[in-house]
């Protein structure tokens, strides 16, 4: 997605800016092109994970520059974290192969999206509540062979802030989520995000504060007791 376009569209309201609608349509076409090549993407993820020994991530951020008529000028991972890693080794050839193809009906510009490991992401979304919190490598990683621990970017995670009600979903994230929902409706991504954000907002039963009226009543009783002793 073009950063220059998004920068101009902050704080957009209803009706949606025509640029947002165009970007949404373009991303849908990009994700459709990726889904048509899902088997190749999944196979590359499988190879990377087999070398690591466990699943690190089920999505990877990608930056693609599209020229006129949908011609792909460049395709690479977004950010430096993935440079020189097992993921670049296995999925890099796929990204380079995109430059020999064209995205149908996609406007010229730079787009940011996620390569999706479909089977693993489907499983992850079903059992997210069983996973350890992704704040760092689990202690079991130390037991993995050194060759499997090498070249793994631990900061490569799913976008967890989408599920956290403490973070506002940015315009570009909302467009990506909507595009993913259009091309992969069975993932029910927006539905899961909405449900998780609502669930996290709710205060757990064990986290209880005394009501203000209770505190006030206790203070009044204590004050009256002290006044009665004078």
Which of 55-64, 102-111, 161-170 comes out lowest in average pLDDT? 161-170
Please count the helices (runs of H) and the strands (runs of E) in the chain. 9, 3
Closest CA to 174 of 56, 64, 23, 46: 23
Cα–Cα distances in angstroms (integers) from residue 52 to residues 56, 84, 107, 132, in the given order: 8, 14, 37, 18
CA gap 151, 65 in Å, rounded: 26
pLDDT at position 28: 95
Q: How many domains does the chain have?
A: 1
pLDDT tens, residue by residue, 53-86: 888 888 999 999 999 888 999 999 998 888 889 9
Q: Is 82 exposed, middle or buried (0-12, 13-18, 19+ CB in 10 A)?
A: buried
User: Which pLDDT tens digit goes with each residue over 19-56?
Assistant: 888 899 999 999 999 999 999 999 999 999 999 888 88
Flag whether pLDDT at 126 surpasses 80.
Answer: no
Q: Which residue has the higher pLDDT, 192 or 5?
A: 192
pLDDT score for 188: 87
Helix (H, G, I), strand (E, B) or coil at 137: coil
Least confident of 21-25, 97-101, 224-228: 224-228
Residue from 208, 195, 209 nearest 165 by CA: 195
Range of the domain at 91: 3-229
The C-alpha atoms of residue 18 and residue 196 are separated, in whole angstroms, by 30
pTM: 0.66
pLDDT for residue 51: 92
Q: How far apart are CA 178 and CA 28, in angstroms?
A: 9
pLDDT at residue 189, as a whole number: 86
């Amino acid at each position: 997605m073009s950063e220059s376009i998004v920068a101009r569209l902050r704080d957009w309201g209803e009706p949606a800016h025509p640029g947002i609608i165009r970007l949404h349509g373009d991303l849908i076409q990009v994700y459709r092109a990726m889904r048509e090549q899902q088997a190749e993407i999944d196979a590359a993820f499988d190879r990377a994970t087999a070398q690591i020994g466990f699943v690190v991530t089920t999505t990877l951020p990608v930056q693609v520059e599209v020229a006129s008529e949908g011609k792909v000028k460049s395709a690479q991972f977004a950010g430096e974290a993935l440079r020189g890693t097992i993921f670049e080794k296995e999925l890099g050839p796929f990204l380079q192969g995109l430059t020999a193809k064209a995205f149908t009906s996609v406007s010229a510009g730079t787009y940011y999206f996620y390569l999706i490991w479909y089977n693993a992401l489907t499983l992850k979304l079903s059992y997210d509540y069983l996973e350890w919190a992704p704040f760092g490598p689990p202690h079991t990683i130390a037991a993995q062979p050194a060759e499997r621990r090498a070249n793994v970017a631990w900061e490569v995670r799913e976008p967890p802030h989408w599920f956290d009600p403490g973070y506002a979903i940015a315009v570009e994230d909302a467009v990506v989520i909507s595009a993913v929902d259009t091309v992969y409706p069975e993932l029910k991504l927006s539905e899961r995000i909405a449900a998780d954000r609502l669930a996290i907002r709710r205060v757990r039963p064990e986290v209880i504060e005394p009501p203000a009226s209770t505190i006030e009543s206790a203070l009044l009783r204590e004050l009256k007791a002290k006044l009665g002793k004078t």
